[in-house]
Structures are given as C-alpha cells and as structure tokens.
Structure 1
C-alpha cells in the first residue's frame, strides 16, 4: 500500500480484478439460490413459460404501455418477472434476480440498496438533513501520500499538474481517501460510535452505500 503500488497504477488490473470479483459473487449467489425453497417453482415456471406471450408483453412494456395480466399465460409471465430481473424482458437475457443482488455494481444490487433506504425511511421517518461534501483529493496531503510511492510522509507543496497526475494515475488512492473522510465524518461530525453528540444533534440513523473496494 505505501510503496509497491504496481497494481494500483496499472490501467487494466482494477477492471480485471473487479470483473473477477463480480464473477465470484454471481457464482456464490447461484449456490445460494439453489438452496432456496422457491428454486423448484422458479425452474418450473422458466421451463413452462410461453415465449410468444412474454415477448408480446416485453414489446408493450417497452412502449410505456400499462399492462395488466388478462389470462393465465400473462399472469405466469408476470410471476416470472417477480422472480427474475431482466434488462430486456426476454428469456435469453434473463438474469436471476436473487443472484444479481450479490453482485456489486449490478442493477439489482443498486435496487436492493434503494429498497434498504426506503425501509430505513419507513422505520425512522424522513431524513432531517441531506448533506453533500466532496473531499478535495488533489489538495489533501494524505491523499497525495496515498498516491505517491514515498514511504516517509512529507507534506511538500507540489505543483498543481503534478498533484493531478498523481491522483489520475492511482484511483485506489482517491477511493481510500474518500473512504477515510466519510468514516471520519460519520464518527466526529455525526457523532456515531463516539462519546459526544453530533454537530446536527443525536444521529438516529444513517445509510452507507456498499461500494466494492479492491484492495
């Protein structure tokens, strides 16, 4: 982390590593879905679905039409869509909904996070504050230290173009810096897991997005 950063600055390693992480997560999710009680029902619906009916429904939905099932075949298709998550609503492109929830960066994973946020709002009430802050990575000496290859920390004042180049060549440093700043904000400004109340009062709840970090 502090000196040998050959993988952090490699242009393709992060993409390949994240892709492998997604493959591993989808495989694990496949094992989990196979153990669920609903697996047999979903399999039976997949094998018995009318492809003509689901293609017709997909075309009508793509046009923005409000569709309600009017027969058993359409009802079965809608039940299948509840079990599965599909980008184009065709059997060939279907991705198992419950598998996608385990894959970081997937549409289904983002949908699960939105559902968690809505559940938190339903439980705790509407949030009192919406706070946006953007840590300046190209200005902060800690982030520049993360991005540099020097083991000894020296807060030297670097030219603007050199600072920008360091951050651009090492996105891991920027991610680590933002993660650190968010955790410090939650602890010291919001007062979570600390011995004092937050700047905005006693924090009843907060939500942290689960973003995959490649070490």
Structure 2
C-alpha cells in the first residue's frame, strides 16, 4: 500500500509522514524530492526550474515507487506536493493503473496557519550563519510565492481526501490519516517537549541548500 500525503509547501506533509513511519512498523518514507533535486543538479544552473515539469521526474517517480511497492513488504509513505492535475494523473494515477493500492490525502490549513509554520520551520539566522548563505530563506520565500496557488488548486475534488489541520498536532493528524487509510499506529506516549525536539530533527534533516 502507498500513502501519498499532499499539501502546500510548509503544510506538514513531511512531519506527518515521519510520524506515521515512526509508529507503523515496517513502513518507509520515499521522498520524490530527492529525484527532482538530483535531476536539477545535473543541469546547468540557468536551466534549473520546477523539476515536476520534467517528464523524467514524473516517470522516475512512478518507476521508483513501483519498485518499492513491489519489493518492500511494508507501507510506502510519500510526502509530496502535486497541484497540477496532469502531473497528478501521471504519478498517482499511473501507480493506481499499475494495480497499486494508493491512498491519497491532502493536508490543508488557512493561509495564516501555513505562513506561521513556514516561519517556525525556518531556522533563520542560525542556519544562515552555519550554511554561510541565505538559501533556506530563499526557499521559504519560494514556498510563500506558491502558497496561494497551492491552497486554491489543492481544494479541488480531484485532490481529495482533504484534511484540515489548523487546530491539529502532527500526531493527531497522523492518527486521522491512519484511521482513514485503515491503518493501526502504535500509540505515542512521549511528552510535548520530546515530540517537538524530534520534529526539529526531522526539519533539520530536510533542509535544502540548493
């Protein structure tokens, strides 16, 4: 089974994916961004753009996830924003055509909620100092520019099932996704401080400097 978690940039997809993976034995997170960033790195800087526009990305995602679903016994979890209906058909739709059981969920929140989350996940001056450049800041600016488009497109019926997360924690969102997908997660017993520290570690691991 594949669990595709969609949503705007900064909407909580990656945190929710890793929360489910942590509490669902045998599950793995497969992030199609790695394919996209790899493709962009092979191109001259002036030719780099939205990697989802590359046919090779869409085909590569299907081929990679098809292999994971065929050879891996556990759940495959994919945190990935896709707002183009054609690209959605070429990835999620194609995987379903190949016979895979794909559960798709879109995490939504009000604009101000997503903006707050983007500010919280941006480690600001510390990352700028450590990285020696302001790439993380530019990345968040790109996410903000895409936000209105994402929120508008992802509310369309084709991107259901929709889950609004304004007043939900990551563990609670993971629980809701699991129930709707027919999954049973291990209960979480850690406190709020430990949960927050773990989420910070997940965020740090997924900072992009390109």
Q: Which of the five TM-score ranges fits, normalised by the shorter chain?
A: under 0.3
- Of structures 1 and 2, the larger Rg is shown by 1
Q: If the length of structure 1 is used for normalisation, what is the TM-score?
A: 0.24
Higher fraction of strand: 2
Query: Higher RCO, 1 or 2 (CA under 8 Å, sep at least 6)?
Result: 2
Q: If the length of structure 2 is used for normalisation, what is the TM-score?
A: 0.24
Higher fraction of helix: 2
